[in-house]
DNA sequence: TTGAAAGCGGTACCAC
DNA sequence: GTGGTACCGCTTTCAA
């Protein structure tokens, strides 16, 4: 039903090829013909069938984006960064959510691959890399964000998690905390990095490390943080500072502390990661480490586009963005 | 590079058609042939090129989703509901963000139309309906969510906004508020409905209506709420209850009240709309009206699929979901 | 039950 | 400058 190249060609008494060339700004078309064609295209509101074009060019101009959870503001913000860059280049974003389920993630990746997306951007929920081997087979470039696999080399963009942990912990130290605990994240690279940063900072003050793990990654990160914090509160002496894997965890921790009748930051200072935009609106505004998710999205998009352009596969890049401390009331004890 | 139907056909010494039929579970294929083909498909990890299929069937199995702002949890949740039902049907979701810009929105819609998405789901940022006329021309079904246009008939799914306003206002009345103000949203249908509900509830108690408008819809709804609340605080006597268009507005209002040295809910009770999942974690947990965004997404997806299936265009449906009151500390004065 | 041929709406290549 | 032709990978139709 929509207008086709052919329709315009017939109407104007030129060939399909000519119209096609005008469409793509080929130089070897007379100005007159070009104008006639353009004019008519506009009148008819012609839009090329991108599926057809994809079939012959082998490029769909689509990028697949797989996230563990769309509701998590971090991924939403990354998505926003992605669209910002991709829109300008005429690409569009196909989003799939894995709901933190490795199996689903794999299915979604295969689906996107069948769709022949030009590149894949994945924040992976899974611990093995078999899906990516698949992508590799089809020569579909992919970039990992936020979470990567130890021992599997791929293009990656994330924040420098070790620095995140270091920044956060040092901040607590500067605020006078002595017994600083870490509520650790699930088995992802980010958790490793942040823990390493914490350890490294703790070495500096010669205090023992106190680490508890959250049970799993799921949609109830705050509940996880609540439980973990209660574990910590049961220890004696209890910590006077806590660095949480992420803000939802930290929010849960805040609740636990509050429920125990203790005060933040006087009794226990708390800091999280993510700088969610409602952190400042919480009962006690939450200190955090900002990951600049939007920039992460933009960088990821740029990298993906570059990978699409370059025929030859270059050595995987690993881009680390700088985290930034955002101190708020939950950790500021010096005033 | 990826395996094609043809490759398998040649290898097995059958025709392309046969393989194609197996792929789509056609009945008229001998069990033996079918098994041989399926076997080989599995071995080679064959995935049909969906772009090619789209070209001939005229169906892309893609649904376009246009939102004003991905970061707004409401839309993220709707998206989640959408993917949940679309995934099962083999559809995928192409997301575009209009950043609350009508022009961008129009461009994105045209882009998606060029992509030949099978249906369009739009939470519109614009006040005219020209883009939808376009969609209509291409016979692409579309469903509006959350916001619709007065005088333009289209399939729509949203919450019953009048009831939202009524519920919220009645709740404030029950809590003993007398001078109840409404911070009104921008010029969208939702704002009209909620305002109407507010008015209707106010009629019942014979108190004057107090309405202020937020300047515009943008990413800083909380700042808008802050400003609007300050306007209200300047009036004399000031309100003792405020029903805000949405939760971000309400959060801004809370800050303004707090900054003015007043107490919530004792001095002023506040309620918003949206039931964002961090409402309960705020300095003062925010009362809200829940819109069940996830269900909204699921319903929208189902409706879109139905529209795609049914050849003939039926009369546009308007589905209204029931809102639900979620009272929290910001409005509970009776205890 | 199987397959040959046509064609979906474009683009690439090469002759004119 | 312009256009004929082949073809991208798949489905559809119809004949064998």
Average pLDDT over residues B268-286: 88
- Whether B35 sits with its Cβ under 7 A from any strand C atom: the answer reads no
The residue whose CA lies nearest the C1' of nucleotide C2 is B18
Model confidence over B19-57: pLDDT tens digits? Answer: 999 999 888 888 888 999 999 999 998 999 999 999 999
How many Å from the CA of B56 to C1' of D10? 7
| CATH architecture for segment(s) B57-159+293-321 | 3-Layer(aba) Sandwich (3.40)
Q: Within A206-246, where are the H helices?
A: 221-233
Cα–Cα distance, B225 to A129 (Å, whole number): 46
Pairwise CB contact (< 8 Å): A281 & B255: yes
Model confidence over B76-105: pLDDT tens digits? Answer: 999 999 999 999 999 999 999 998 888 899
pLDDT at A242: 97
Q: Is B133 helix (H, G, I), strand (E, B) or coil?
A: helix
Pairwise CB contact (< 8 Å): A138 & B1: yes
pLDDT at A335: 60
CATH T-level fold of B5-48: 434 Repressor (Amino-terminal Domain) (1.10.260)
Burial A127-166 (b: 16+ CB within 10 A, else e): eebebbebbeebebbbbbbbbbbeeeebbbbbbbbbbbbb
> Please, which residues bridge with residue B282 across strands?
A282
Burial B117-145 (b: 16+ CB within 10 A, else e): bbbbbbbbbbeebebbebbeebebbbbbb
Kind plus residue range of the DSSP H or E element containing A159: strand A155-159
Inform me whether the C-beta atom of residue B257 falls under 8 Å from chain A C-beta atoms: no
A90, closest residue in chain B (CA to CA): B111
Cα–Cα distance, A228 to A244 (Å, whole number): 10
Model confidence over B318-334: pLDDT tens digits? Answer: 999 999 999 999 999 87
| Residue of A94, A114, A220 for testing the chain B interface, max B β-carbons within 10 Å | A114
* Cβ count within 10 A of residue A96: 24
**Residue boundaries of the structural domains of chain A:** 5-48, 57-159+293-321, 161-291
* Range B161-291 classified under CATH 3.40.50.300: no
| Residue of B42, B46, B50, B137 for testing the chain A interface, max A β-carbons within 10 Å | B50
Asked whether the predicted pLDDT for residue B146 surpasses 80, the reply is: yes
Average pLDDT over residues A92-112: 91
Which residues of chain B from 30 to 59 reach within 8 Å of chain A, CB to CB?
A: 45, 47-52, 54-55
Model confidence over B154-180: pLDDT tens digits? Answer: 899 999 999 999 999 999 999 999 999
Nearest to residue B292, comparing CAs of B314, B267, B324?
B324
User: Which of residues A72 and B217 earns the better pLDDT score?
Assistant: A72
Confidence of residue A227 (pLDDT cuts 50, 70, 90): very high
Burial (CB < 10 A; 0-12, 13-18, 19+), residue A105, is buried
The reply to whether B57-159+293-321 shares the fold of B5-48 is no
B294, closest residue in chain A (CA to CA): A71
Share in percent of chain A as helix, strand, coil (round to 5): 45, 15, 40
Which residues of chain A from 231 to 250 reach within 8 Å of chain B, CB to CB?
A: none
How many Å from the CA of B17 to C1' of C1? 12
Inform me whether the C-beta atom of residue A189 falls under 8 Å from chain B C-beta atoms: no
Q: Hey, CA dihedral for B5, B11, B16, B20, is it positive or negative?
A: negative
Instruction: Write out the two tokens for A242.
Output: 């806590």
Confidence of residue B217 (pLDDT cuts 50, 70, 90): low
Confidence of residue A63 (pLDDT cuts 50, 70, 90): very high
The residue whose two tokens read 């006087």 is A266
Q: Hey, CA dihedral for B282, B286, B292, B297, is it positive or negative?
A: negative
Closest nucleotide to B32 by C1' from CA: C1
| Residue of A67, A70, A99, A134 for testing the chain B interface, max B β-carbons within 10 Å | A70
Burial A286-301 (b: 16+ CB within 10 A, else e): bbbbbbbbbbbbbbbb
Instruction: State percent of chain B over pLDDT 70.
Output: 95
Model confidence over A8-26: pLDDT tens digits? Answer: 999 899 999 999 999 998 8
Model confidence over A154-181: pLDDT tens digits? Answer: 899 999 999 999 999 999 999 999 999 9
pLDDT at A219: 65
How many Å from the CA of A27 to C1' of C7? 30
Question: Are A264 and A330 spatial neighbours (Cβ–Cβ below 8 Å)?
Answer: yes
């Amino acid at each position: 039903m929509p207008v086709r190249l052919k329709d315009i060609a017939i109407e104007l008494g030129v060939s399909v090829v000519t119209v096609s060339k005008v469409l793509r700004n080929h130089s070897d078309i007379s100005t007159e013909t070009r104008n006639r064609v353009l004019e008519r295209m506009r009148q008819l509101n012609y839009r090329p069938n991108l599926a057809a074009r994809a079939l012959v060019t082998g490029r769909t101009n689509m990028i697949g984006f797989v996230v563990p959870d769309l509701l998590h503001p971090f991924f939403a913000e990354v998505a926003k960064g992605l669209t910002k860059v991709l829109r300008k280049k005429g690409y569009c974003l196909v989003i799939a959510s894995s709901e933190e389920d490795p199996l689903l993630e794999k299915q979604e990746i295969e689906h996107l691959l069948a769709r022949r997306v030009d590149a894949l951007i994945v924040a992976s929920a899974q611990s093995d890399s078999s899906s990516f081997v698949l992508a590799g087979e089809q020569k579909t470039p992919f970039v990992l964000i936020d979470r990567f696999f130890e021992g599997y080399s791929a293009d990656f963009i994330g924040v420098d998690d070790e620095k995140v942990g270091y920044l956060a912990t040092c901040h607590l130290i500067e605020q006078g905390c002595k017994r600083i605990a870490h509520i650790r994240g699930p088995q992802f690279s980010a958790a490793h990095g942040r823990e390493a940063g914490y350890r490294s900072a703790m070495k500096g003050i010669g205090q023992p490390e106190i680490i508890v793990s959250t049970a799993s990654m799921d949609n109830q990160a705050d509940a996880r943080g609540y439980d973990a914090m209660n574990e910590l509160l049961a220890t004696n002496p209890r910590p006077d500072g806590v660095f949480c894997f992420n803000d939802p965890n930290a929010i849960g921790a805040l609740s636990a502390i509050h429920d125990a009748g203790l005060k933040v930051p006087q009794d226990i200072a708390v800091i999280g990661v993510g700088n969610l935009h409602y952190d400042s609106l919480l009962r006690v505004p939450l200190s955090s480490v900002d990951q600049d998710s939007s920039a992460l999205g933009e960088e990821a998009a740029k990298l993906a586009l570059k990978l699409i352009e370059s025929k030859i596969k270059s050595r995987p890049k690993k881009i680390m963005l700088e985290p930034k401390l955002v101190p708020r009331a939950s950790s500021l004890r010096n005033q």
